[in-house]
A and B are shown apart, each in its own frame.
Chain A
Amino acid sequence: MNLSFSEEDLKFQDEVRSFIAENYPADIKNKMDNGIPVSKDDIQTWQRILSKKGWFAVNWPEEYGGTGWSITQKHIFQNELADANTPTLVPFGVSMCGPVVYTFGTQEQKDRFLPGIINNDVWWCQGYSEPGSGSDLASLKTKAVKDGDHYIVNGTKTWTTMAQHADWIFCLVRTETTDIKQQGISFLLIDMKTPGVEVKPIITIDGSHEVNMVYLDNVKVPVENLIGEEGAGWNIAKFLLAHERTGIGGIPALKREIRRLREITSELPLGEGFLKDDELFMDKLNKLEIDLLAAEYSELRTLAAMSKGGHPGPESSILKIKGTDLQQGLSDLFVEALGYYAHPFMSEDDLISNEGRIGPDFAANVMPHYLNYRKVSIYGGSNEIQRNVIAKAVLGI
């Protein structure tokens, strides 16, 4: 057992740190540091910078453009990205569609779709949930009927994150109605420009436009866009959910945020002193920090096991639950730290204007973030569903 960084690891850390310092665009950094929402262009600019360096599809096998890094190197890389407060990488292409294509796709499909993902020329979104199918994903009803060399797709997808920016959507569709609902599901890639695809925004309680409804009305999709065999989509969905859940814990960003909150406790006035003098508040902060430390090492244990050849299995459900608990817990502590100053509502225009913000500089994002983060225990399979997964797979019930 050895958990310390080797000389080479430390050298790698320096290399990553200098690369970010030299290449992270100042205008994007300014937005990130000041809580101003980043645009699609900002995200793509940053992702392309990483991609050009060969540091974007970090987890992919080397033959498809991955890094071949060790677990420790990946850990260092994620921590450095988070430390520098760079925009979160959008997972739908690189962490989700990509692994599905190189794992289940034909050579032709790999050649066609992987370059667009790794070079950031194509923006993907995920068509899983439907109005009638939330946690019970397998009950989905979107139908794809084969008609010669095409499928005709009809149905509605919902909670589709960033669909307003997307060029393509990967969808679970029903190609056959069977007694067992997990059967007859297929994995289909659809060009968002196809006639019959319509995107409508859903505004969430924080006032942001992140998720959408995607209506599919007689959408004609070539059969060569089917990944894997017809009817084998549920296996791909399960593979993908496990992949999705490991990163979902967001541990590196939590480490940065908790450090930030600790700094804030020395800045926020309280009576004749500062918030840090409030022992009850600091207790909560310290407890959360210990919990985070445990989650971080749990994630490292899982990654170490994966590096020995395993796929992320049910352990990823544990990381999802712990990580999202912590994300919500920390976002709540930020709200508590601010007291009344968590309440003023600031629009994006207010944030950019020169009028000056209301309350402490960082305050504007705190309540929206808390409200927005109610989603994390719901998406990617609600935390109750994760407990069902663990009960079945780990406890053998």
Chain B
Amino acid sequence: MDFSLSEEQLLLKDSITTFVDKDYLFDVRQKNIKTELGYSSDFWKTFADLGWLGMPFSEADGGYNGGPIDLMVIMESLGRGLVVEPYIPNVVLAGGLVSRLGSEEQKTELLPKIISGEIQMSVAFSEPQSRFDLNDVITSAKKEGDSYILDGYKAVVMNGPSSNNIIVVARTSGNQLDKEGLSLFIVDPSSKGVSLRNYSNVDGSKASEITLEKVSTPASSLLGNEGDAFSALEEVIDLATLAISAEAVGIMEKMNEITLEYTKTREQFGETLSSFQALQHRMVDTFMAYEQTKSLLLMCAAKLTDKSDDARKAVSALKYQVGIAAKHVGEESVQLHGGMGVTDETNIGHYFKRLTTIRAIFGNTDYHLKRYSAL
């Protein structure tokens, strides 16, 4: 039993940590999220140059054959830096689906461009009524000759605004909640009948509401077999759940450090805040919450790597724990900062906002507790 990272993984961690500490400064990030793009295309290029965008792809697809543990290492480090560049929507979600289901032609067309950072992609899987249930899909796709006609509405699509291609989950057969009958289509957002309402989320990321009205997309845009997308989608979302949990663990580790440092310098009643036992014990509790979550993160990454029978159950255990710990660590960090915690100029509040959106992304505690119980 070995919890240590390999030499390559340590180097990877080191290279991202160096980037985050030296280049990804808080005020630079704050400027970037206020631009129309919402992140830095220069930084995105750096990610590509340093090989981070190619990590999870096979060597045959032009990547570095990285597994869940490598993904965990990347996301934990990006989390510490509160990196807003859309790694998960591009690389884990869209890249994951294309590499699993794509034809040779689709892979050759898209994967090199994802890996080189040339294109941006996203996956439109959620709808207003579906929340976290991947099988709950009303958006329909009907075959007409050599094309499919898409109709429906997709909610809060991460990275929608910059995407050159959007992978849309649509129903080709069956009823609203059926797992069978789901298909994926690679849609050009400039196609006739596609309209995007773009906006910022509170965590600084960008998203879109997407309306599809009689959108005609060629049969060649079908990704994978018709009606057979569910299991691949679930697998990719599970991996993305690991990724976002790792991001949360990185954020919590950083928030605990920032808070501890703050309480060691801030003085009230002639003493530092850290000298008060009531506050010390609360920081011990947030430290333990982080540690507990980190333990489940490592467990889950190992089980996904081994393709264990209980890997999916481990994903839900992890995301449930992330939800509990994120609320605890996030809210306590703000409280221990006092008034400074609720100001826009202090970084802690921005870490808090991202940690809060992560609680719901790919399923909140209620969803994952139910899934855990059912598996």
Contacts and interface: CB of A to CB of B under 8 A. Distances in A.
B284 A301 contact: no
B369 interface: yes
Given A282-B373, A290-B372, A391-B280, A304 B292 contact: no
A391 B281 contact: yes
Contacts of B306: 3-4
A384 B373 contact: no
A396 B303 CA distance: 34
Contact of B296 (A293, A318, A395): A293
A287 B369 contact: yes
Given A71-B1, A294-B295, A388-B277, A397 B264 contact: yes
B291 interface: yes
A322 B288 contact: yes
B104 interface: no
A2 B2 contact: yes
A283 B367 CA distance: 12
B292 A295 contact: yes
Nearest to B68: A1
A291 interface: yes
Contacts of B284: 387, 390-391, 394-395
Interface in B265-314: 274-275, 277, 280-281, 283-285, 287-288, 291-293, 295-296, 298-299, 301-303, 305-306, 308
Size class of the contact patch on chain A: 35 or more
A297 B1 contact: no
A148 B308 CA distance: 67
B69 interface: yes
Contact of A394 (B274, B287, B308, B372): B287
Contacts of B217: none
B287 A294 contact: no
A300 B320 contact: no
Contact of A290 (B288, B298, B302, B317): B317
Given A294-B321, A321-B288, A395-B284, A1 B3 contact: yes
A290 B295 contact: no
Chain A CB count within 10 A is highest, among B4, B6, B69, B301, for B4
B5 interface: yes
A50 B191 CA distance: 74
B298 A297 contact: yes
Interface hub of B295, B306, B317, B320 (most chain A Cβ within 10 A):
B295
A67 interface: no
A391 B3 contact: no
Nearest to B257: A395
Contact of B292 (A1, A3, A70, A298): A298
B287 A395 contact: yes
Q: Chain A CB within 10 Å — which of B3, B275, B287, B372 has the most? A: B3
21 contacts: A1-B3, A1-B5, A1-B298, A1-B302, A2-B1, A3-B306, A4-B302, A286-B372, A291-B321, A297-B296, A297-B298, A298-B291, A301-B298, A304-B3, A304-B4, A305-B3, A387-B280, A388-B277, A390-B287, A391-B280, A394-B284
**7 closest pairs, A vs B, by CB?**
A297-B295, A3-B302, A294-B292, A391-B280, A72-B1, A298-B295, A387-B284
Given A286-B369, A294-B296, A298-B295, 6 more contacts: A1-B298, A1-B305, A2-B1, A294-B295, A301-B3, A304-B1
